[in-house]
Chain A
Amino acid sequence: MTTQDIIRALNETFELKAEVLHGNQIRVSMHKKQVAPVLLYLKNQWGFIHLDHVSCVDWIEENVFELVYIVYRPQDQLTVLVKTKIHREHPEMENMEGFWPHMRTYQREIREMFGIEFPGFEAPREFILEGWEEIPPMRRDFDTRGYVKRTYTTRPGREDAWSVREYITRRTGEKLPDFARKYSRD
């Protein structure tokens, strides 16, 4: 079995354009309605029995979330990255907790961190955070530094997050060495 067989099969069954990412990895994008059938197809027909990963990327510029489901076929080390984009306003994704037992964990995390809803998913809402009142923190528009400034108190002397080396050279009047200047932020 090679990557080409899988690409062909996906192409024929679902009319999807799959491509090779690196080596044994296949990347395929689709509409969110197709994700569940494709995943089931891969799992049941092609033996992609191992769900490696479910991830989410916030493309705030395009106003979409990109969901990535990575499935793995242990016999010949094939990996398929099933990708879909969903809208950032009222994001919803199909609930697939019955496919793999740890899908539940991933969905809980994504729901909490990105605010993506999975209709019919009944796990407790609080997973990692506790008593969280802001927007989901992994969204790119969540300003973590601003939140920290509002919520926590830092000890005096560390408000500005200076470069220590820079500060020392300025205080002592030494010249900044070349190698340090190279990495300087100025």
Chain B
Amino acid sequence: MSETKDIRIITRPTKEQIRQAQIDFAPRCTAAGRVNDKETQKMVQYILNFARKHSLFLLAYGTGCGAIEIPATLTSRYDAERLGIRGAATPRQADVLMITGYLSTKTLKRVIRVYEQMQDPKYVVAFGSCTINGGMYFDSYNTIKALDRYIPVDVYIAGCMPRPEAVLKGFAKLQELIQNGNAGNGECYRKNLDWYRANQQKVIKNWDFPDEYNW
């Protein structure tokens, strides 16, 4: 019994290894590549960030089962509109892309398309355990397991499914990140496009995106 225990713990990666793996996992951009740099943040940026964080237009895209809690979040009991969160119909107008749960590869393609059509600064909020690590679909042949290999993610909300309170908490976190100038990875996505494209093409079999990156 104790033998197996030791072996298992050794096979498990150390914390350092995990952190290293995380770094490899999703490209992190340097501070200069960010939309705003905290050190050089000026008054204008402060005001702009204040406006940004209080005016979040959610793209109307229910990618998975988490979409069931979005109406609850937006309607009268939880009323996300008091925080400036409201729906937007097309990616051109939207700021926040909510990945509400698992993504099948067919949807992933559309999500990438939609993400690229959004305008900077754009934020991605990933919803539910399945976006983090596949969740209960860890052995499903049709869902991706880790979202940030395909598009950059700002905030993860864990749970299956997260309650509206958790969603609001996630948005609060996003607002905090926006105010500090740490949210919005559109620039980062463009810089590391090759890395993302390689990952995307690995799972999306019928790749028919235009060669040139347009946003």
Please report B residues at the A interface, Cβ cutoff 8 Å.
5, 8-9, 11-13, 17-18, 21-22, 25, 105-106, 109, 132-134, 138-142, 144-146, 149, 199, 202-206
Contact = CB atoms under 8 A, between A and B. Distances in A.
Interface in A138-181: 142, 144-145, 147-148, 151-158, 160-162, 170-171
A137 B105 CA distance: 14
A129 B203 contact: no
Contact of B145 (A134, A155, A162): A155
B17 A130 contact: no
A148 B202 CA distance: 12
Nearest to B205: A131
A156 B17 contact: yes
Q: Is the interface of B mostly helix, strand, loop or mixed?
A: helix
Contacts of A132: 205
Contact of A158 (B109, B133, B144): B133
Given A155-B25, A156-B13, A156-B21, A131 B206 contact: yes
A152 B204 contact: no
Contacts of B149: 153
Contacts of B13: 156-157
B146 A144 contact: no
B54 to A, nearest CB: 32
Contact of A151 (B17, B109, B132, B202): B202
Contacts of B105: 130-131
A133 interface: yes
Interface string A100-132: 000000000000000000000000000001111
